[in-house]
Amino acid sequence: MKSSTTLKDQLPSRFRGTIQGAAIGSALGFPYSGSSRTFMRALGSEVLQGYVRHRNGYYPVGQHGAGVQMLSLAADAISHAGAVDPEQIVEHWIPLWRENRIIERLPDVDVAMSRWLRRGTEARGCACGPGENGSGSLVSSILIGLWDHDSPDALVDDCERLIGVTHEDTEVRAVCAALASIIGHNLTHHDVVLGDVIDGATAAAARIDTSVPRRIQEIPMLLAASEAEAFEKLAGSEEEISDVEHSGVENRALPIFLVALHSWLRSPSDPLEVMGSCLHSGGAVEMTAAVGGALVGSCVGEECFPSRLIEGLLERDEITSSADRLYQRQVQERRRRNA
Amino acid sequence: MSVLLGIELHGNCIRLQAVDRKGTRLALLEEPVSVPFERWWGTHPDERVRSVRALLQHALQEGHIRPASIAAIGFSCEPSLVLVDAEMEPIPPRALDWQHLDPSDSSPEQVLRNTLARFPSILRGLHSVMDLQDWLRYRWTGAVATSSTFAWHSGLSSHSSPAQRFDPVALQQVGLESGQLPPLMPGPHRVGTLQEDLVTDTGLPRGTWVCAGTSPRAARLWLAAEPTPGQGIVLLEPGGATLWRVGEAPDAGASCEEVIPAPYGDHWYHREAIEVADPRRGETPLSDVVHDAAEIDPAQSWNPDAGSMMVSADFGAASRAPALLAGVGLGWFRDLRPLWRKRCKTVALEHWLDQVAASSGSSDMETREQT
């Protein structure tokens, strides 16, 4: 993908594209969250036609999931503090639980946030422990890719700060660092170079965990394999036998990330193709499509998303403003650093 | 139920051993870990709990150990520190900035003092202070207790009876109350029985005892030779050969590096010399001492003068002490002397070499992938 404008000119659009992409993917998948892979594949291209009402009828059309709700608030916290400050992030997130405004229950994040709520923001270590490898905080980590795209040395440490609010599990932390590094790579490169993307993600994850880098390195080989074969390998677990072919992606950070990354690498500049592939994977479709949307959005910017999807998004203005504020504060901080 | 299980958390791996009543090793499994146990501050305690449980389940599922035969579980673990909050969850090391600790200044005593000085607010909601084996035991049994090893290495034990009880003055100095320290048990003592979920998952018998535990070095020294006063033991470690001698309780001000309590706390091991004659380098070994080593290079050649060199029963192998200490806790070995004189007696190096030659080719050890 080549562009006539410079990367610097494209940055505001890519910031918006990343966050809007996550929100669009989440909103497309939210009504179908938990649906089987068989069901999602049967829907075909219908899932991309537009937003539909959630089956329980309580949510308006275009509603995104709780992951994007947290993403938007974390973006505000970073913009406000001018840094990735866990205390600020907790302060921005806590009202969601205190006032019961969280859109849906995220079991892993709920545990951690309930502790923060009980003990206050000055407490140390309320994150859920090793073994809790849910995907609740996965989408928030894209903010680190945006914030640290020009300072990769700080990326993993900042990601640890953000994800450390809710998760101690090394697998989750490594996955989030890998996702952030890919977003950062997309913001600093015109083209997607497979080797660079995989190497960057592997290096970031390897600072935290040993098994996640191995799984990421499998992806290039699976790009040539059939979609079904690749899906089975990426969504399946090394330790457990599960029926992913029917049930879809488990609600764990690692398979969600691997499936979304694979979907994006197959068509890096086609948002509908990427999100369609993520939605057809079934299971945790909301989170998978959100990650896929963020990856493609960071690569192509907001212009490449169909306008009907951007306009139909609930709280579109708030989401866009969050992205803009984050971009402006990032520029401000960069100038301050360079001064 | 005639088998004892010993779990050693030391160096770069977790070792699991099954030992029978006679002290015969029935199985030995090792699993490397990505962060060595000496760098205890680099890993969440529950990550270690998961790794140990995974190895235990692997051993039982693969048939290396028959679950129904297990009578008790013993531990040995590198001295470490776990701060437990009011909800009985460990405070994550990263939340205490332990990832930036200087390895040269990372004794549990120093880290405890520095952490409580830096984050005094955690004292309010602190339930207890313990070490990793105490945490592992709590997760498995629900019983909160600590061992004399932790009391000694935390620097909180009293000068009058070191490692036997905590010193209220020392506790006060760091801001702790006596209620924030778990009950103190000698290493072999039974602390609790396995919780129902572990029994269901593993098939281990209900009522399997878990003992207090000790440090890997204390465990090795304990089994290496009968602890008669003045008995010398040379530990051959990767860094060199050090001479330890059985003695009385230390004076006030003795460092944790130089003196370590025996598992029962009835005697102490004093480091007499750091660099002594190392027979691995061809030097003439010290006389009247027992040599012990966890690992010996199979290609190691020995000085012919080493003919009179005495080596421990576990020379060149993982120590059976954690498992046997569990047996002591069960009361299996009321008189300990036969343990050193008969079951795990010291032998001359030639005899050990003959044994190694005879047993080469048959190994009961398995190593799993790194966790």
Q: What tokens were used for A21?
A: 């992409």
Average pLDDT over residues A107-120: 92
List CB contacts (< 8 A) between B96 and chain A.
124-125
Look-up of token digits 């000068």: B159
pLDDT bin (cut points 50, 70, 90) of residue A1 is: very low
**pLDDT one-digit tens code per residue, A238-291:** 666 667 888 899 999 999 999 999 999 999 999 999 999 999 999 999 999 999
Query: Does residue A2 lie within any of the structural domains?
Result: no
Residue B316 φ/ψ region, left for φ over 0, alpha for ψ in the -120 to 50 degree band, beta for the rest: left
Pairing label, strands B3-10, B70-77: parallel
Alpha-carbon span A142 to B334, nearest angstrom: 62
Residues A164, B370: C-beta atoms closer than 8 Å: no
Check B92 against A168: CB less than 8 A apart.
yes
Amino acid at B169: V
Enumerate the residues of chain B whose CB falls inside 8 A of the CB of residue A131.
46, 50
* Whether residue B252 sits in one domain with residue B180: no
pLDDT band at A207 (very low <50, low <70, confident <90, very high): very high
Quick check: A115 and B87 CB within 8 A? yes
Task: Give the bridge partners for B73, in sequence order.
Answer: B5, B210
* B163/B146 Cα distance (integer angstroms): 11
Domain that holds residue A81: 11-51+58-332
CA distance A284 to A134: 11
CATH number at residue A82: 1.10.4080.10
B interface residues, A as partner, C-beta within 8 Å: 34, 44, 46-47, 50, 85, 87, 89-92, 94-96, 119, 121-122, 125, 370
Inter-axis angle of helices A271-280 and A253-266, nearest 10: 140
Measured distance CA(B257)–CA(B155) in Å, rounded? 12
Same domain, B201 and B334: no
Please check whether residue A100 lies inside any domain of the structure: yes
B305 and B315, same structural domain? Answer: yes
Position B365 scores a pLDDT of 56
How confident is residue A2, by pLDDT bands cut at 50, 70 and 90?
very low
Cα B333 to Cα A52, A66, B23, B190, B338: the distances in Å are 72, 60, 11, 14, 8
Q: Can you tell me the distance from the alpha carbon of A259 to that of A231, in angstroms, rounded to the nearest whole number?
A: 7
Determine whether the interchain pair A129/B91 forms a contact, defined as Cβ–Cβ distance below 8 Å. Answer: no
* Judgement on whether residues B190 and B232 belong to the same structural domain of the protein: no
Residue A1 lies in a domain: no
Contacts of B121 in chain A (CB under 8 A): 122, 124
Query: CA B350, CA A61: separation in Å to the nearest integer?
Result: 83
Cβ contact, residue pair B46, A164, below 8 Å? no
Q: Do B310 and B207 have their domain in common?
A: no
- B46·A210 Cβ contact <8 A: no
How many CB atoms sit inside 10 A of residue A153's CB? 7
Give the mutation candidate from B49, B83, B94, B369 for the A interface (greatest A CB count, under 10 A). B94
| Three-state secondary structure call for residue B305 | helix
Encode pLDDT of A283-328 as tens digits.
999 999 999 999 999 999 999 999 999 999 999 999 999 999 999 9
Q: For residues B149 and B42, what is the distance between their CA atoms, to the nearest angstrom? A: 21
Q: Are B329 and B187 members of one domain? A: no
Over residues A99-109, the pLDDT tens digits come to 999 999 899 99
DSSP B247: E
Contact B18, B29 (CB under 8 A): no
Each of the 371 residues of chain B gets a pLDDT tens digit; together they read: 689 999 999 999 999 999 998 899 999 999 999 899 999 998 999 999 999 999 999 999 888 889 999 999 999 999 999 999 998 999 999 999 998 888 888 899 999 999 999 999 899 889 999 999 999 999 999 999 999 999 999 999 988 888 889 999 999 999 999 999 999 999 999 999 999 999 999 999 999 999 999 999 999 999 999 999 999 999 999 889 999 999 999 887 788 889 999 998 889 999 999 989 999 988 889 989 999 999 998 888 887 676 789 999 999 999 999 999 999 999 998 889 999 999 899 999 988 988 888 877 555 556 565 55
Contact A182, A113 (CB under 8 A): no
Q: Is B261 helix (H, G, I), strand (E, B) or coil?
A: strand
Q: How confident is the model at residue A124 (pLDDT cuts 50, 70, 90)?
A: confident
Please identify, among B195, B215, B235, the residue that sits at the C-terminal boundary of a domain: B215
- Both B51 and B169 in one domain: the answer is yes
Q: In chain B, what residues touch A125 (CB-CB under 8 Å)? A: 85, 89-92, 94-96
Helix (H) or strand (E) holding B163: none
Under 8 Å between Cβ of B309 and B285: yes
Asked if A168's CB is within 8 angstroms of B119's CB, the reply is no
Q: How many structural domains comprise chain B? A: 2
Residue B150: CB partners within 8 Å, gap ≥ 6?
A: B79, B108, B130, B131, B134
- Show which of B215, B236, B256 is a domain's final residue: B215
Residue B357: what pLDDT? 84
- Whole-angstrom Cα distance, residue B109 to residue B95? 19
Residue numbers in A near B201 (CB within 8 A) = none
Phi and psi at residue A311, to the nearest 5°: -70, -30
State the CATH number of the domain containing residue B99. Answer: 3.30.420.40
Report phi then psi at A264, rounded to 5: -70, -40
As for how many domains chain A has, the answer is 1
The pLDDT value given to residue A55: 81
Q: Which residues of A touch B57 (CB under 8 A)?
A: none
How many residues are listed for chain A in this entry? Answer: 339
Residues B232, B196, single domain; the answer is no
Find the CB nearest A127 among B34, B50, B92. B92
Q: What is the dihedral of CA A295, A298, A303, A309, to 10 degrees?
A: 40
Picking from A124, A130, A164, the nearest residue to B50 by CB comes out as A130
In a domain, A138, yes or no: yes
Listed residues B163, B195, B215: the one ending a domain: B215
**Residue A278 and residue A263 in contact, taking contact as beta carbons nearer than 8 Å:** yes
Q: For residue B139, what are the domain limits? A: 3-215
Helix (H) or strand (E) segment spanning residue A141: none
Closest partner CB to B94 (pick from A119, A122, A160): A160
* Cβ A281 vs Cβ A290: under 8 Å: no
Partners of B98 on chain A (C-beta within 8 Å) are none
Nearest to B250 by CA among B233, B237, B234, B269: B269
**Span A54-63, average pLDDT:** 88
